[in-house]
Amino acid sequence: MQVIQSIEQIRQLVRQWRQLEKTIGFVPTMGNLHQGHLSLVEEAQKCADKVIVSIFVNPTQFAPGEDFTSYPRTLQEDQEKLENAQVDVLFVPDREEIYFPDESTRINVSGLSEQYCGASRTGHFSGVATVVCKLLNIVQPDSAVFGQKDFQQLRVIQRMVRDLNIPVKIKSMPTFRGLDGLAMSSRNSYLTPEQKATAPELYQALLDAKEAILACRQGYPEIEHQQISRLRCSGFDPEYFVICRSLDLHSAKSDDTDLVILTAAKLGKTRLIDNIEFIKKI
């Protein structure tokens, strides 16, 4: 596995691969890799001849007071995992390689970015969209693979790629979960042992809400309020628990069929997000 830090080097290598008519898959990450990330790598390898993984902790998607400086950075361990996974290239640019000192351009995907996580994390999705656009422009892959754990982020990226006519196929993979149902996340390392025992309750709330929707037992606002109360009783500080249309994340109505339930909640100081997507038959 090659480790590359500069944009020029990665572009030169990609040009060589293109001359050999190789297809290129890409998995952008912020590192601290777990099995969920490696499942994205496996999917990329199924769809492309060559696979590039990037590790870049993007400063522009962290709001003031968030955990940018303390975000877990485990480059040596990550590199070993990617080598074992037979990744072709690890791209690890530093901040100066990605952002000019006087840079002033941001991408904003309006309509998808302002609510839910975007409401409490000012500028977060603008930072995400900007850095993903930059990385796609740098690597110019045929396909890029993202996980569904951050469902709102996935929709923002899909809309940006569509609207800007970026010639890349965005693939998504289901959330990778532990045996207890907890969605794998780099931030899970912040949880205490007691909190780790409680954290799977977030996914269970999603499952129970889905069951209530499919059984048509309650109206959507009642289901949302019920699960928020439940999470509070379990020790969470819920930020939102919403039933949405899967495609555009607008609030769902009773006759909508493609649904996703989104939730975010703090457990202690750790902010957890999760979702469940499903189809309701009318």
pLDDT score at 180 = 96
Catalytic residue among 37, 124, 225, 250: 37
DSSP-derived secondary structure letter, 231:
H
Check: pTM over 0.85? Answer yes or no: yes
Alpha-carbon span 196 to 142, nearest angstrom: 38
Integer CA distances (angstroms), 87 to 38, 45, 48, 101, in order? 10, 8, 11, 31
Instruction: Please indicate whether residue 37 is annotated as part of the active site.
Output: yes
Domain ranges of the chain: 2-173, 186-277
Within 8 A by CB and 6+ apart from 263, the residues are 202, 205, 206, 227, 231, 238, 239, 240, 241, 242, 273, 274, 275
How far is residue 114's CA from residue 125's CA, in Å, rounded to a whole number?
8
Low pLDDT (below 50) residues in the chain: none
Taking the C-alpha atoms of 277, 123, 51 and 137 in order, what is their torsion angle to the nearest 10 degrees? Answer: 130
Would you state the pLDDT for residue 64? 85
Q: Which CATH number fits domain 2-173: 3.40.50.620, 3.30.70.1290, 3.30.70.20, 3.40.605.10?
A: 3.40.50.620
pLDDT of residue 117: 96
Alpha helices by DSSP H, listed for the chain, are: 7-19, 35-47, 75-84, 95-98, 117-120, 124-139, 151-163, 193-198, 201-215, 220-233
**d(Cα 91, Cα 52) in Å, to the nearest integer?**
7
Compute CA 193 distance to the chain's CA centroid, rounded to the nearest angstrom. 24
Q: d(Cα 148, Cα 276) in Å, to the nearest integer?
A: 9
* Domain 186-277 classification at class level: alpha beta
Kindly give, in sequence order, each residue whose CB lies less than 8 Å from that of residue 97, ignoring residues fewer than 6 positions away: 5, 6, 7
Residue type, 178: G
At 282, is the secondary structure helix, strand, or coil?
coil
State residue 65's pLDDT score. 84
Extract the tokens encoding 236. 């969470």
